Amino acid sequence: MDWNLLALSFTAVFISELGDKSQIAAIALGGSSSSPRAVFFGTAAALLLASLLGVIIGEGTAQILPEQLVKAVAAIGFALLAVRLLWPGETAD
């Protein structure tokens, strides 16, 4: 087991998941339900399944496409998102 990769994966996912919509949904469900334990196990299982699908799709993609192409597409995608976020949007009247 690559412990550095494990720590990096945990840290990246933990930080990116803080304050997102799924955490807000878990807070709302946990606060309004009579069984917060069920909410915890349900949300934990959902995150595990989503992560498993991401790893499987990533592994399959890595076997089909060259690494440099995947990195280039990701870099261009993030650059486009950054430009879009910086571009002044239309204001709602």
DSSP letters spanning 58-82:
HHHHHHHS-HHHHHHHHHHHHHHHH
Residue 79 confidence (pLDDT): 96
| CB of 39 closer than 8 Å to CB of 29 | yes
Most confident range (mean pLDDT) of 17-26, 59-68, 83-92 is 59-68
Please state the domain extents for the chain: 3-64
pLDDT > 90? residue 88: no
Residue 72 confidence (pLDDT): 95
Neighbours of 26 (CB within 10 A): 19
